[in-house]
Amino acid sequence: MNVLTRCRWRAIVLLVVLCLALAGCGGAEIFAPAAVAATQPPAAEEPTEAETTLTVFAAASLTDAFGEVAAAFSAANPGVTVAFNFAGSNQLATQIGAGAPADVFASANQAQMDVAVETGRIDAGAPQVFVTNRLVVVVPADNPASITDLTDLATPGVVLILAAEEVPAGRYALEILDRASDAVGVGSTFRDDVLANVVSYEENVRSVLNKVVLGEADAGIVYTSDAISEPGVTAIEIPDELNVLAEYPIAVLNDSAYAEDAAAFVAYVLGPEGQATLANYGFGVSSASSAQ
């Protein structure tokens, strides 16, 4: 074997190794389907016992509640498992727009569901509100700044954390402050006084909660459902007339490969068992959603 051939051989071996490495990490989907189709019977002929995995894109605030809902749903529907992608609703809507495979989308607000509808992957009439959420003031268990209601947030020296305006919880918090400023007896400078106490606009509502738990802040504004799952904080209600009702819509994607199972999951979430579980996690259920 002369030198040149050997050299070429090495290059080929290297290329093959590269291809294998690519195939190993996710590239498998690019290379595999043709081979699979040739060797396996079509999926339709498989027995109905076959495992179906539903991919559900759900807002981060649903993490705990949906975990329990999915476990109960799988128990009631043998052979169907649920895989979640929990993230900020805006990220999920972006991923849906980019073609990410998903069967169900549960958004923390209407705006991001609208974004998903605009991509054409969710039919305009499909989204249904399945829970509502409210906002609440949280303070550390020992309440170092002695906060008893929303107006105390304006007291100079209170260390306050809000979610950033870029995420829904942050926008809702500002909306509440605006309403409070307009309300009789609160004072028109209320919003500015409160904002003067803000030390950080966190990138998501969970990190607001965690920093209050750690005692880094005297108070924060989060969802009721966040507060209820955290024993390290005390929740202080925000009056209904000032509060925001965040509606969570859910929908099946129109290109879902498991449309029936996906619809069954949505029905389960909207049904009595699903709603009862969600209520346990602090979400507002049926009465609120039927009122809309």
> Please, what's the b/e burial string for 153-191 (b: 16 or more CB within 10 A of its CB; e: otherwise)?
bbbeebbbbbbbeebbbbbbbbebbebbbebeebeeebb
Which residue has tokens 């268990």?
141
Whose Cβ is closer to other proteins: residue 110's or residue 207's? 207
Query: What CA–CA distance (Å, rounded) separates 30 from 57?
Result: 23
Strands 160-163 and 219-223: parallel
Stretch that binds other proteins, among 7-15, 68-76, 184-192, 266-274 (CB under 8 A): 7-15
Report, in Å, the least distance between residue 105 CB and other proteins.
18
The answer to whether the beta carbons of residues 152 and 191 sit under 8 Å apart is: no
- Which of 58, 154, 167, 278 binds other proteins (CB under 8 A)? It is 167
Query: What CA–CA distance (Å, rounded) separates 273 from 81?
Result: 17
- By C-alpha distance, which of 192, 210, 194 is closest to 160? 194
Count the residues of the shown chain that bind other proteins, applying the rule CB under 8 A.
27
Site for other proteins in 120-159 (CB under 8 A): 159
Tokens of 226: 């966040």
Report, in Å, the least distance between residue 47 CB and other proteins.
43
Whose Cβ is closer to other proteins: residue 121's or residue 211's? 211
Report, in Å, the least distance between residue 30 CB and other proteins.
15
Stretch that binds other proteins, among 5-13, 76-84, 116-124, 247-255 (CB under 8 A): 5-13
Whose Cβ is closer to other proteins: residue 41's or residue 157's? 157
Whose Cβ is closer to other proteins: residue 15's or residue 291's? 15
Tokens of 3: 């030198």
Residue 164 is a binding residue for other proteins (CB under 8 A) = yes
DSSP string, 240-269: TTT---EEEEEEE-TT-TTHHHHHHHHHHH
Query: What CA–CA distance (Å, rounded) separates 282 from 102?
Result: 26
Which residue has tokens 């495992």?
51
Whose Cβ is closer to other proteins: residue 63's or residue 91's? 91
Site for other proteins in 216-275 (CB under 8 A): 216
Tokens of 148: 């008893």
Residue 37 is a binding residue for other proteins (CB under 8 A) = no
Site for other proteins in 10-29 (CB under 8 A): 11, 14-15, 18
Residues of this chain that bind other proteins (CB under 8 A): 3, 6-8, 11, 14-15, 18, 88, 90, 159, 161, 164-167, 198-203, 207, 211, 214-216
